[in-house]
Structure 1
Amino acid sequence: MILLHGIWALPVMMAPMAWALRRRGYRTFNPMYRSRAHSLDRIVAALHPRFERFAAASPGPVHFVTHSMGSLVLRAYVTRHRPPWIGRAVMLGPPHAGSPWVDLARGLRVSGLCLGPSADLLDCRRNAVLERALGAIDFPVGIIAGTQSILPFVTSRLMREPNDGKVAVSATHLAGQSDHIVLPVGHSAMPHDRETIRQALVFLETERFDRAGADNDQRAIANRA
């Protein structure tokens, strides 16, 4: 199992997910990559030999759990190398259609400082070259989107639709996805949210999310509110 963190993050952000996966019997690899300093091409090139070594030591297919920008890195990696050992993937809050926060950063002329080369990748108006680099998926992908923002009075001005504080639910969808579920969780909280972790495990084992269980959990939250 390979885990990929998002931008401005470290592998420690994925540690709760990795711990849960190991408890379920998966062997995990949770690498760091230069999310802000390097271009997508350099990120993929640096990760390739590390992925290959891990896959060579792992019997059977290698699955992925990715968060935010890590989902785009996975897409680019598979498009470039199409490894025969690819298994299933769970993507948490993936900005497949970008994030309006990047557009805002561009307007304030701080996108380069805050995001580096990744600003182009995370933009809502991603260029054709990057779209081709991301390619299409041809392996099982389950997507978990969130609807909880820590600053709703701010994000509501950027996204007038359900969102996790950074990515709109509609922007998480991807052509060819195997399943998609929406949970009441914020973007940054996904890798250590209990229900998100549970749903990730369910998808990795069944290629489907536990929609009935998620509905029950959301009703319980509503009753406590």
Structure 2
Amino acid sequence: MPFKRSIHTFFFVLVMLLPDFISATPKPDYLILLHGLARTEKSMVVIGYHVRKHGYEVININYPGRTIPIDQVAAGLADSIALYCPDTTRKLNFITHSMGGIVVRYYLANNSVPNLGRVVMLSPPNKGSQLVDKMGDWWIFEKLMGPPGEELGTDSLSVPMSLPPVTYPVGIIMGDHSIGPPFSKVLPGPDDGLVSVADAKVTGMSDFLVVPRNHFTIKYSAKVAAEAVYFLKNGEFEHESWNHMKWLDSLTVPRYRPLINTR
């Protein structure tokens, strides 16, 4: 009988302490994924699959990437963060692709985020893109890229060039595999097919990594995802050696959730 009573007492104490144990377990930091121009959240599924395994609460945001200007996209991002990331005791991190990096810069330049963690940008046109300078007035460009595409030039009035330097931890991963002519003839120096390597840099950035990928394949790379996670955790990239002959190192992943739309 005493032995059985001891067991009952043990389990009674365990049950009583369980809620405190659960509440004391730290919640994961937020990690927002933000796709680029004329894309959807589906383009960030692969990198989302890789990074969520490292303990982040991943929020893959979808926004209308061709129909509204960048300031309105940033406003929608602010609303989404307020809705889906309400706990300010948890760090708020970002991984972006292409124009998504400009949207985050615009958001952070106009909002106070005391729980901001780190930001990783893939292929960001931080100084704009000469392709927009060259083709921005073309009818087909306006049709395909819409208002936000026209805001990504390199002149002083463009959105990227009007934003202040970054004052928070930013790591940039940029590809140097161009998709070839005719775009490469417009872009100066090494480029990823849409943005020159030099134009991806921004004043105040913490680290910069060039990888053998182009503007589209960079977000499907498991090694890029690993470098992104390393920066989120350490504030710098690991700068591992790359196999330049391996064009893609990850394409197939299980179905990924959640997919969240801006409101």
Counterparts in 2 of 1:107 and 1:38: CA distance versus 1, 3 Å: closer
Tell me if the contact between 1:146 and 1:184 (Cα under 8 Å) persists in the aligned partners. yes
Partner of 1:177: 205
Correspondent of 2:218 among 184, 190, 214: 190
Partner of 2:252: none
Q: How many residues align?
A: 217
Q: How much is the aligned-residue C-alpha RMSD, in angstroms?
A: 2.1
The Cα shift of 1:98 comes to 1.2
Secondary structure (helix, strand or coil) at the match of 1:29 reads strand
Matches within 5 A, 1:1-225: 1-57=31-87, 59-127=89-157, 131-132=161-162, 134-150=163-179, 152-211=180-239, 213=240, 216-218=241-243
Per-residue deviation, residues 27-58 of structure 1 (Å, max 9, x unmatched): 11111111210012211122212112222147
Tell me if the contact between 1:98 and 1:126 (Cα under 8 Å) persists in the aligned partners. no
- In structure 1, what is the Cα distance between the partners aligned to 2:211 and 2:177? 8
Tell me if the contact between 1:79 and 1:136 (Cα under 8 Å) persists in the aligned partners. no
Gaps of 5+ in 2: 1-30, 247-263
The Cα shift of 1:74 comes to 0.1
TM-score norm. by structure 2 comes to 0.76
Counterparts in 2 of 1:183 and 1:52: CA distance versus 1, 3 Å: same
Secondary structure (helix, strand or coil) at the match of 1:71 reads helix
Tell me if the contact between 1:55 and 1:85 (Cα under 8 Å) persists in the aligned partners. no
Tell me which structure has the larger Cα radius of gyration: 2
Secondary structure (helix, strand or coil) at the match of 1:37 reads coil
Tell me if the contact between 1:120 and 1:127 (Cα under 8 Å) persists in the aligned partners. no
- In structure 2, what is the Cα distance between the partners aligned to 1:95 and 1:129? 10
TM-score norm. by structure 1 comes to 0.89
Between 59-68 and 44-53, report the one with greater CA deviation: 44-53
The Cα shift of 1:182 comes to 0.4
Tell me if the contact between 2:66 and 2:145 (Cα under 8 Å) persists in the aligned partners. yes
Secondary structure (helix, strand or coil) at the match of 1:122 reads coil
